[in-house]
A = this chain, B = another copy of it.
Amino acid sequence: MFDFTITADDPQNAARAGTAAHTGTAARTGFFETPHGELHTPVFAPVGTQATVKTLTPRDLAEAGATLVLSNTYHLYLRPGTQLVADFGGLHSFMGWPGPMLTDSGGFQVFSLAQMRKLDPDGVTFRSHIDGSLHRFTPESAIASQEDLGADVIMCLDECAEPLDRKYNEEALTRTHTWAVRCRTAQKRRDQALFGIVQGGIFADLRIESARTLRALDFPGYAIGGLSVGETKDQMYSTLDVTVPELPADKPRYLMGVGAPEDIVEGVARGIDIFDCVLPTRVARNGGLLTRQGRLNLRNARYAADPLPVEPGCDCYACQHFSRAYLRHLFKTEEILGLHLATVHNVRFMIRLMEEIRRQIAAGAFADFRAAFLAEFRQPDQDVRHAQKEKRRQAANSK
């Protein structure tokens, strides 16, 4: 159970293939065994916050090629309650997803969504963003909740600090490490892989300290948290550069909440195996469709009479059956089917990207692929993106 087998290693394969970029990268492919099936890595997990990947049925997910689905303990703890999910045999049967699942600890949402929070060494007390009711998470309760939910991979309770605030990161790291030990001890079920979470903001020494501390606890996998939360892309990448080498090579590495297609390619190049992010599903509902050339904004008038599919060559249900003009019509008329079809495409886009990444690594050609992908994929402006993120956070906090 939870064996992780590396099947291809980019530097070796690249050298063997004698490709132009024969020095290769830290990318690797593997498979990770879970009670609900084997994951081929690198893998991207669509996010099913409230026990549903928004607008998609489990069948849609399977058709998109999704293998791993993430769900959020904070949200499920509040509604419908983790005990109810346990009574239904866990998340898999409650939401009808038969494949591998992952839950976070709930900590991140407490820090980003809850209306009030009071930290103490033992845990965190907060008010629900829904009705203001008072709740408390401790390392032990976070594990108990995740044992109720029954995902294949579960997370230690951690504290995600502002990435640029050194003092806050130092304090938070102490708690995160103490809580990791307590989570390890609290775990009862042996059919769930508990991952430790490396924190430390953008500070190399803190990240190294965190990775070493957690590594000593011998987790079956390691997550890197506290990234893609306000730092620049360069800061994120250089943090990965110092963190990943400190993690054991024979265990899966999970970059939490990342990400954008370009960040996934860069993360894979740095040795990351597992990703999750709301980006593809969230931008879909906003009319942002992912293509290899970048985002296509369906609301744009230029698509009003465009007979092409969103991305020619894509094998998703939306691209196989509908024109950009029809999808644009659905968005302009605020039809729910538009949100669904856009989500179908974006999830399939991410899964296809991961499939190609795995093929390229196996062929020893990932470095070339990475360069070609980044040259073609038009990235949204970082300032614009940060402004959007800030706006969402303020909106969530003002609820």
Q: Which residues of A are in contact with B by a Cβ distance under 8 Å?
A: 50-52, 54-59, 75, 79-80, 84, 87-88, 94-96, 304-305, 307, 317, 321-323, 325-326, 329-330, 332-333, 335-337, 339-341
Contact = CB atoms under 8 A, between A and B. Distances in A.
A326 B91 CA distance: 10
**Copies of this chain present:** 2
A329 B51 contact: yes
Contacts of A340: 55, 57, 336, 340
A50 B325 CA distance: 13
B50 A333 contact: yes
20 contacts: A50-B333, A52-B330, A54-B337, A55-B340, A57-B337, A57-B340, A58-B321, A79-B329, A79-B333, A80-B329, A84-B305, A84-B325, A87-B305, A88-B323, A95-B326, A96-B321, A96-B326, A336-B336, A336-B339, A340-B340
A56 B333 contact: no
Contact of A54 (B57, B88, B304, B336): B336
Contacts of A80: 304, 325, 329, 332
Contacts of A336: 54-55, 336, 339-340
Contacts of A326: 51, 88, 94-96
Contacts of A57: 317, 321, 337, 340-341
Nearest to A56: B337
A130 to B, nearest CB: 9
A304 B84 contact: yes
Nearest to A328: B80
A329 B71 CA distance: 14
A131 to B, nearest CB: 12
A78 to B, nearest CB: 9
A323 B100 CA distance: 21
Which of A54, A75, A88 has the most C-beta atoms of chain B within 10 angstroms of its own C-beta? A88
A336 B50 CA distance: 11
Contact of A335 (B52, B59, B332): B52
Given A95-B326, A326-B95, A340-B340, A88 B307 contact: yes
Which of A325, A329, A332 has the most C-beta atoms of chain B within 10 angstroms of its own C-beta? A329
A317 B52 contact: no
A128 to B, nearest CB: 13
Which of A52, A58, A95 has the most C-beta atoms of chain B within 10 angstroms of its own C-beta? A52
A51 B325 CA distance: 12
A-B interface, 6 closest residue pairs, ranked by CB to CB distance from nearest: A52-B337, A80-B329, A96-B321, A50-B333, A55-B336, A52-B335
Given A332-B80, A340-B336, A325 B55 contact: no
Nearest to A333: B50
Nearest to A58: B321
A118 B375 CA distance: 58
Contacts of A330: 50, 52
A301 to B, nearest CB: 11
